[in-house]
Structure 1
Amino acid sequence: MLLSVAVLAGTAGASMAADAFDLQALIEAAKKEAPITVYDSTGKIVDMAKAFSAKYGLHAQGAKIKAAAQLEMMIREAQAKNVQGDVSIVSDAPAAMAQLLPQGFAESWLPPDMAPKIPAEYQTPLTVVTSANVWAYNTALFDKCPVTNIWQLTEPKWKGKVAMQDPLGKSSYIDWFNQMAKHGDDKIAAAYKELYGKDLAAGESSATAAWVKALAANSPLLTDADAGAADAVAAPGQTQPFMGMISSAKFRDNKDKGMKLGLCRDLKPWLGWMYPGIGLIAKGTKSPNAARLFIHYVMTAEGIAPQAEDGKLSTNRDVSLPADEPSGIGAVLSQVFPYRIATSLGDWDQRDAWQDFWRLNYKK
């Protein structure tokens, strides 16, 4: 069988036509290999690995590791020829594109039978999932989102009352700035004019830069994790009116912890932004078939279910979010700013500049 010959040779990046793909051959080959370890920045990867193991009768272990640590580990393991993490779902797309793939530390594999279901922009490299960071408010303090335009967050009323992760410690926020400047600057300028009835004054390199500067100068409350921002906004008993930028996954805490998080559905120009999770196979893995099988598994509704419950979207068009997903993000996806992997290397190149810009303008 063409598939089993190719994967047993360990060529994890080889392409193959859908009509030549044999899932059963892949399963049988995977069962002959050593257990695998899968890295991801969400704890849900532990449950996903357990379910994968139970389904196929082999062993996979999930490990929750932050994106920056994943990158360092994969690079060092590849250089040492001692692969410990066989699969990684990397939420730092620019770093994956700039470091892991071109230097041969990892490879992308697109399941041939999934290709017709996955939009072209998510195929090279394979984006497994896209996750949303969204603006949230406290439903116990407000009947609806207290702002309708992101420029309001730069006004004196919200000085010190916007909670978010520190962009200097969370590179995806810096990438968000660059993506907006590259692909959505006109909408940020239009939002300013819609709110204030006049054009944004010249002065910064872009409307995005002007907004980032104004937000930083308005003394946002910076946290080291989404949990801190979510607590500031909507912890039980919270009486101070905060707005927050948080992962859609935190909305599960409304049920689990009595939080009062509400989604700012009508915020202009966007209610939040997406970032991708890139599925990679470590170069040099001793279990290339099992690694491929895991990638195939997480591209199914069953495989991605633990993350879908948190509002994270599979790139497989046939997979949808659960109807009871807590944030409600599925109903307003058109209002979420998308991430374009095609320009991710530009995000990588501009990180230092945006970090310096934030550092220069942030006021405590």
Structure 2
Amino acid sequence: MNLSLKKSLLAVLVTSCAVNLAHADPNLQSLIKKAQQEGSLTVYASTGKIVQQAKSFSKKYHINAVGVKAKAPQIIEIMSREYQAHNVKTDVAIVEDTPAGIAQLLKTKVAYSYVPPEFKNDIPKRYQHPLAVVLAPNVLAYNTALHKHCPITNIWQLTLPKWRGHIAMQDPTGKPAYTDWFNQMATHYNKQMRKAYQSQFGHALKTDQSSAMAVFVKKLAANHPLLTHSDTDAAAAIGSPDTKQDFVGFISTAKFRKNKDGMKLGICNGVKPFIGWNYPSLGVIASQTSHPAAAKLFIYYLLTKKGIAAQSIDGKMSTNEQIKLPANEASGISKYRHQLMTFHMDTARSDWRQRQKWQDLWNLSYMQ
């Protein structure tokens, strides 16, 4: 290689490095450097995808991170006990139960919320106080082998005798996402539920209940849905390819990936007032962590396209609105995102306080 060519290549390399450094966020670079000096990281979440996400984080930043799957109540108990014992092993947690996380981790100072400054303009403010990192859609689904289109167009149709015993869903007394949905609807969407009622039945709703959603919950429970222990079981009841029973029901978009194995699940597009709801998961950092920089970096990573990719493929949506769902996501929920109920984080404490009330209403109505 002649001398002039060497000089040209060197000039290109220097220019490239200068450009890269110019575009590098100095605060992020400082955080990465500090994180790499701290050592290991332990992260809990309710999804098994956290194992893969921790491995990807380790590979990218050369920090040993371990992902552990556990249910939200277990995560909260583990973090609380470690905090009380001043022996913190859990650095970061993705808490699927937002109201419980706020009440039992943030309010008690066991953990704190951190919003990476790089994303403050990309995450809606309603998901920043505290930070929700991902939204999990629960949608009304039907069997595409039995129907060309969803047989439900209005949520109140689920209370009709036609669907008695033919609605599949997890038991609300064991799945807080349902009672939180009830309370969110009653608190923020009472007008929409009343309007849907009038559209379905041709007259205004008259009731002594506290909200239209309370009426709906009573009627839905009295219609004796098939209550399951998991979304997997509910999805099997709804979308089995050889079923003779016609079921509709509420399931996670993650279950639509089973369509590649022969399931026949379809989203009930166009149902009024909503086709389902988006349930937020908190991203929290243990207040006594020995690895604060690494913990903050992991939260940052989860809010990037690569960091959330393992969950995005299941239809879970990053609160970073710059990140879109992948084209090969199985449910197609991206097309119907605007039809999902928006969860209001600012009233999550009310959801926490009202859970028992909604569970009692459900149980009493179901036993009728």
Matches within 5 A, 1:86-105: 86-105=91-110
Partner of 2:358: 354
Contact 2:41 2:63 in 1 (8 A): no
Percent of residue pairs identical: 52
Partner of 1:300: 304
SS of residue paired to 2:133: strand
Matches within 5 A, 1:220-259: 220-255=225-260, 257-259=261-263
Distance 1:265 1:148 in 2: 8
Shift of 1:21: 5.7
Contact 1:21 1:113 in 2 (8 A): no
2:199 paired residue among 180, 194, 201: 194
Distance 1:21 1:71 in 2: 34
Q: Deviations over 1:117-152 (max 9, x none)?
A: 111111111110111100000111111101111111
Any gaps of 5 or more consecutive residues in structure 1?
Answer: 1-18
Distance 1:158 1:59, change over 3 A: same
Distance 1:50 1:245 in 2: 32
SS of residue paired to 1:22: helix
Partner of 2:281: 277
Partner of 1:262: 266
**TM (normalized to structure 1)?**
0.92
2:78 paired residue among 73, 81, 88: 73
Contact 1:21 1:112 in 2 (8 A): no
Q: Partner letter of residue 80 of structure 2? A: I
Q: Partner letter of residue 176 of structure 1? A: W
Partner of 1:16: none
Distance 2:82 2:253 in 1: 32
Which aligned runs of 4 or more in structure 1 are off by greater than 3 angstroms? Answer: none
Shift of 1:24: 1.5
Distance 1:345 1:315 in 2: 20
Pairing 1:211–2:211 present: no
Partner of 2:293: 289
Pairing 1:310–2:314 present: yes
Partner of 2:64: 59
Distance 1:363 1:231 in 2: 25
Q: Deviations over 1:241-282 (max 9, x none)?
A: 000100111111111x32110000111110001110110001
SS of residue paired to 1:319: coil
Contact 2:43 2:91 in 1 (8 A): yes
SS of residue paired to 2:279: strand
Structure showing the higher helix proportion among its residues: 2
Q: Deviations over 1:267-318 (max 9, x none)?
A: 1110001110110001111111111110000110110011111111111121
Distance 1:89 1:146 in 2: 36
Distance 1:137 1:48 in 2: 31
**TM (normalized to structure 2)?**
0.91
Matches within 5 A, 1:175-194: 175-194=180-199
Tell me how large the CA RMSD over aligned residues is.
1.4
Distance 1:41 1:238 in 2: 31
Distance 1:160 1:57 in 2: 53
Any gaps of 5 or more consecutive residues in structure 2?
Answer: 1-23
Q: How many residues align?
A: 345
Distance 1:296 1:317 in 2: 14
